[in-house]
Amino acid sequence: MKPEISFEFFPPKTDEGVLKLRETRKQLALLNPKFFSVTFGAGGSTRDRTMDAVLEIQAEGFEAAPHISGISSSKEEILSLLKTYQSHGIRRLVVLRGDLPSGEVSSGDFVYASQLVAFIREQTGDWFQIEVAAYPETHPEARSAAADLKHFKTKVDAGANAAITQYFYNADAYFQFVDQCQAMGIQIPIVPGVMPIYNYTQLARFSNVCGAEIPRWLRLRLEDYGDDMSSLRALGLDVVTDLCEKLLAGGAPGLHFYTLNQSGIITNIAERLNLKK
Ligand code: FAD
């Protein structure tokens, strides 16, 4: 059986971005994904654009999963968003705490994602399939790996159905994490989030913020390529395809790709993995 795959987009800011995303979706739809998800800016800054992208995806006949983040949001704002999604027949959410732009202090009703998950369950019962975030290499703000794992369990116990991980390039981090979760009685599927390598500077910036480790040997080789994008992408394609192969061979329930609204590299990875249905 082919593994279930899903793709994550960010909501485009311009008309040109909307057109580009439509084309990306058309290409990725050929891989028969389970769903397309759309990110949500801190404090609801992309609320309308996330909604627009989600409804467009749904109108094309695909399952659309909006991300929803609690930081800086009030209960009333979240409830109104949930009602709107319910009225459009949306059944899946990716539920997060979110991050504040640096210097901002949260004024919202939700400090942790687990509180938002509990609130959604309390207000909407089992209407939504709830996906939450997981961190095989530990969330950067966590006091310790053990504390992070404990908080992850609280979030799962609050009502999550599945988790999608932060990206990583070390398959062992994922397998260790899954083993630890199972030992704690966490039984939901934990789907690895996969970040294809598009551009080194951008990847290094994201990784600094989210705590995802780029192994030293890989970082050095990517740095060496500098502006030589074709060598960089060829290495990235090899590395990420290998990672996906290991993850699937080791029992990962599927793959969730961070697309950055691009389809080319993912299509290449999918061809190598023979994911086309
Ligand atoms: P939480 O699960 O709340 O965890 C955040 C931190 O708080 C962790 O260090 C945890 O250990 C700690 N913690 C949790 N509970 C407690 C407690 N009771 N006491 C003390 N500490 C606690 N961000 C966006 O803004 N928009 C998006 O659309 C978005 N999509 C994402 C999709 C995926 C698949 C992933 C992996 C991340 C995404 N993010 C997004 C980033 C995410 O918002 C950040 O990583 C954020 O810093 C944490 O969110 P969380 O939901 O994991 O938070």
pLDDT score, position 267: 97
**pLDDT at 174 (0 to 100):** 98
Q: Which CATH class is domain 4-273?
A: alpha beta
Ligand 1: residues whose CB is within 6 Å? 39-40, 42, 67, 69, 94, 96-99, 112-114, 133, 139, 141-142, 147-148, 151, 155, 164, 166, 193, 210
Which atom of ligand 1 is nearest the CA belonging to 50? 28
Percentage of the residues of the chain whose pLDDT score is greater than 70? 99
pTM for the predicted model, two decimal places:
0.97
Contact residues for 221 (Cβ-Cβ < 8 A; gap 6+): 235
Mind telling me the catalytic residues?
8
Interval 160-178 mean pLDDT: 98
Q: Which atom from ligand 1 is nearest to the alpha carbon of 139?
A: 9
Give 111 Cα–ligand 1 centroid separation in angstroms: 10
- CA-to-CA separations, 149 to 2, 30, 143, 145, 186, in angstroms, rounded: 30, 36, 11, 6, 10
Give pairs for 221-225: CB < 8 Å, separation 24+. Answer: 222/197, 225/200
Distance 102 CA to ligand 1 centre (A): 15
Using one digit for the tens of pLDDT, what is the confidence trace for 37-90?
A: 999 987 667 889 999 999 999 999 999 999 999 998 999 999 999 999 999 999
Measure 48 CA to ligand 1 centroid, in angstroms. Answer: 22
* pLDDT (average), residues 188-192: 98
- Give pLDDT, residue 47: 84
Q: Quick: pLDDT tens for 39-49.
A: 998 766 788 99
Residue range 216-241, pLDDT digits in tens: 999 999 999 989 999 999 999 999 99
Q: Of the residues 36, 67, 151, which should be mutated to test ligand 1's pocket, given the most ligand atoms within 8 Å of the CB?
A: 151
As beta bridge partners, residue 257 has 7, 194
